[in-house]
Amino acid sequence: MELYFMGTNAGVPSLERNVTSLALRLFDERRSFWLFDCGEGTQHQILRSPLKLSKLEKIFITHLHGDHLFGLPGLISSRAYQGGNTPLTLYGPPGLKQYITTSLNISESRIDYRLDIVEHEGGKLFEDETFCIESELLDHRIASYGYRVIEKDLPGKLDSVILASHGIKPGPLYGKLKRGESVEAPDGVTITPDEVLGRPKQGRIVTILGDTRPCQAVISLSEGADAMVHESTFLDELAQTAYDYHHSTAKQAAEAAKAAGAKQLYLTHFSSRYKSEEQLHRLLVEAKQTFANAELAREHVIYPVVRADGEE
């Protein structure tokens, strides 16, 4: 599980940064990736990345401001030309379906794969045997949502030495033991999972937040998160400006990460006024004064999501 930022600017693109888009790479877990927001130019950023649209499984839109979704129609229509023929599901606030269907219909775009659009107002959006996705309404000028990605615990490691001593080799019996089933070994001995299965690996939690002022939903979505992505549009000297425009400062992002007990904070959604490395560094310094494990999100950099035990 890895984070890959393709846009970290707020409002409009700049020569230094694109507008908001973030991939959650799940190649080991699902052989796919999920996209969070899709600002203008996102498909160009994907062409410069190790990502392939054919592997895109889900898109989550935080809110319907242009810098977070103007890239969607082009990306959706281009996906089939890049080998994308598997179903694609979009999640986002009410109005997303009208925006997508209108754009595709007027442009007479042809989609050769199943496209599902799920409009929501928070709650549990998706769950299978490996992941659960939850969402809550944040505090922004329009309805803006944060997403909590919960990886379910993984089975512990099997003791291959004990299994080999009973004549059990990697294969179907390994799978049964990992699913919690007892098996009969070739030597006639019944092996229970408790005898050969180590402690489960704790699943990771990734929180990706849309534009927001500080609010309780930020804390609840980020509780205990292994990785937390929070907008940091302004320095705290512009806290009143941030409030007036329904945004947050780097200091406020750090305060939220500390209150939530998050393990790692990634700052993103920087105002275009902060162009130089020196100006961006001020945002990081401000955040680190409150929360040491803060980092500026950089475009086209892979950020592994580390487990509590230090494994990726």
Binding-site residues for Zn(2+): 63, 65, 67-68, 140, 211, 269
Beta bridge partners of 26: 32
Angle subtended by helix axes 250-260 and 277-288, to nearest 10 = 30
Beta strands in 120-241 (DSSP E): 123-127, 131-137, 145-151, 183-184, 190-191, 205-208, 227-231
The CA angle 201-203-206, to the nearest 5 degrees, is: 150
- Integer Cα distance of 134 and 125 in angstroms: 6
- Integer Cα distance of 249 and 231 in angstroms: 8
Question: What is the token pair recorded at 212?
Answer: 């927001």
Instruction: Give catalytic status of residue 67 as yes or no.
Output: yes
Which SS3 state, helix, strand or coil, does residue 43 take? helix
Element at 216 (helix H, strand E): helix 216-222
- Integer Cα distance of 218 and 231 in angstroms: 11
**67, 116, 236, 244: the active-site residue:** 67
CB atoms within 10 A of CB 67: 22
Question: What is the token pair recorded at 74?
Answer: 């082009």
In contact, 163 and 193? CB cutoff 8 Å:
no
- Integer Cα distance of 208 and 36 in angstroms: 8
Q: What's the order of all strands across the beta sheet hosting 21-26?
A: 115-119, 88-92, 56-60, 32-38, 21-26, 2-7, 302-304
- First-to-last C-alpha distance (Å) of the chain: 7
Q: How far is CA 261 from CA 71, 167, 220, 239, in A?
A: 33, 46, 10, 23
Binding residues: 63, 65, 67-68, 140, 211, 269
Question: Which positions are annotated as active-site residues?
Answer: 67
